Chains A and B, each alone.
Chain A
Amino acid sequence: MKIGVCVKQVPAKDAPLAIVDGGAWIRESDIGFETNEPDTYALEEALRLKEKHGGEVVAISMGPERAKQTIKEALAKGAERGIHVADSEFYKLDPLTSARSLAAAIEKENFDLILTGLQSDDQGFGQTGVLLAELLGRPHATIIMSIEVTDGRMKLKRELEAGWFQWVELPLPAVITIQSGINKPRYATLKGIMAAKKKEIATVDRASLGVADSYTEKVERIYVPQKTKKTEFITGSPKESAAKLIEKLRHEARVL
């Protein structure tokens, strides 16, 4: 089975975010980066499928030069090779243009299966997997919690809302987005890190792919939402304050 797995590099979870260029993006110069956590589950699933069914795993990442580090980590964990779609201003792309670029870069690989994480922890568009499927003419399924492959077909456990799941079947080749928590991602071993040094990373300049920059949407401005950690005290009888708190959690904080 030839498996492509899309991995993105994003700011580390604890990185302080300073917004720059009038809200265009964040300052990258003094923060740490890591592999997008949802993608680590997709990579792990790809490696397990390869170990079970044979084949190869190719790690694909679009982003600036730094994104190569995320590919290297995937190689150290066991991916065979990497494809880096280089674009230092990847954050200006809309989801469709990003997906068109990735599709153009990997089309001729003819993967049996393409895996992605659920969404990225930076922009969080959550569309790449579904768009890749459409652009490459493959069937897809999202938010997947288990994969069984038999005779060119997959049986998948798809997570729905409110504790529900559904089994779905689809033929290969296909594109699947993986739900976080599907597995326990492995750590790279020292041996793996050494072996990765000899593995190939092909770099493709995004501009060379011939994907028109016909944007359908544009992020005008990124900003820190106003948040004042000032406790709002709710008063009234127990019944009144209970109702008010629920109302606020539901419609003001929107967490219920």
Chain B
Amino acid sequence: MKILLITEQRDAKWNKVSFETLAAAQQIAQQAKGSLSGVVIGKGVTALADELAGYQLEEVLLVEHDLLAAYTPDGFSIALRQVVESAKPDLVLFPHTYQVRDFAPKLAASLQKGMIGDCIAYRYENGKPAAAGKLIFVRQMFQGRTAADVVFTGEVPWVASFQAGAFRADLAAKHAGGKAPVKAVSVDLKPEQIRTKPLELFREAKQAVDLTQAPILVSVGRGIKAPENIQMAEKLAKLMGGEISASRPICDEGWLPMERQIGSSGQTVAPKLYLALGISGAIQHVVGMKGSRTIAAINKDPNAPIFEVADYGIVGDLFEVVPAMIEELTIQQGSSS
């Protein structure tokens, strides 16, 4: 099994999901007694190739071209097709990022291949990577309500991508003996082949809040005790990339605007993570959030009904646990950016 891992960067900064997929690729390569090559694609990314070479892989392929400085689906597909055709891998792995969604199916189709995208796991049938053991990819269907085992049926190369969070980047093994060689690979690209013109990148100021669209909600209840304590929950929400919301009493008090109220008289939400801080879990509240994919609750009362719907619970003082979470996330984010 020869595996080709395509990493992702922008402005010479890694998309960190690349290293999660690296960990998965190393694992598959080891189990199948195969080899793994990593690809760094862009312009002015030699330093990233060197960094990747410090990990356990056979070689790093450095694909640089003026026309790859800014991402375009045409440029990246055409260039990577040439790389795949010359490297002849059995399996091409991507991190499932927005950019990968944008071009990897096109790349696969240009090779007359399909792609199994957004996988959350893989396994070998019978647990064995022998000739008899099929490589099975697991992906979600019906918005995560079901899982599906998917296998490749056609000729190699196979193209697959792994969802962010499916593997742990910190399990990516460093190179055992120094560094893997970095090999520059030239690609043939012409300006007229690139039909998309990429313009400037920008961020926008936050618009009026729509809690139903928030992937993560940090929600406060009576246990927050005073309006000045909401700041702490807001800080945690920000670190988690989420929004702040509340149970009815908090909004009735005017500590947060009504638009942030969750429950039968407020909004019904189903984020991927709902973190309830000091919320007892009255039914009027629970009906508004019980569809959340993962629910975590911090409450002083071990018998609070919120724990009946929670996946994770901490029985404790939120004024101790929340600052500790803020500290932990601040350290993690500081070390990874």
Contact = CB atoms under 8 A, between A and B. Distances in A.
B197 interface: yes
Contacts of B2: none
A191 to B, nearest CB: 30
Interface residues of A, number: 72
Given A121-B143, A231-B311, A246-B329, A216 B320 contact: no
Interface in A3-23: 11, 17, 19
A198 interface: no
B199 A166 contact: yes
Interface string B310-328: 1111111100111111011
Interface string A89-101: 0000011100100
A242 B321 contact: yes
A194 interface: no
Nearest to B71: A166
A239 B327 CA distance: 9
Interface string A214-227: 11111111111100
Interface stretch (B36-44, B59-67, B112-120, B220-228): B112-120
A140 B73 contact: yes
A139 to B, nearest CB: 4
Interface stretch (B145-153, B175-183, B258-266): B145-153
Contact of B141 (A159, A160, A222): A222
B166 interface: yes
Contact of A229 (B106, B311, B316): B311
B146 A17 contact: yes
Nearest to B274: A255
A145 to B, nearest CB: 10
Interface in B157-187: 163, 165-166, 168
B150 A218 contact: yes
Interface of A: 11, 17, 19, 26, 94-96, 99, 121-127, 130-131, 133-135, 139-143, 155, 159-171, 181, 214-225, 229, 231-234, 238-239, 241-243, 245-246, 248-251, 253-256
9 contacts: A216-B114, A217-B154, A220-B148, A222-B147, A224-B147, A232-B312, A234-B314, A246-B329, A249-B312
Given A217-B150, A239-B324, 11 more contacts: A26-B146, A99-B109, A124-B139, A130-B73, A130-B101, A140-B73, A143-B98, A215-B154, A224-B147, A239-B328, A246-B332
Interface of B: 15, 73-74, 97-99, 101-103, 105-106, 108-110, 113-118, 120, 136, 139-143, 145-154, 163, 165-166, 168, 195-204, 210, 213, 215-216, 240-241, 272-273, 293-294, 296-297, 307-317, 320-325, 327-329, 332
* Closest CB pairs A-B (n = 6): A216-B114, A242-B324, A254-B165, A238-B320, A139-B195, A167-B199
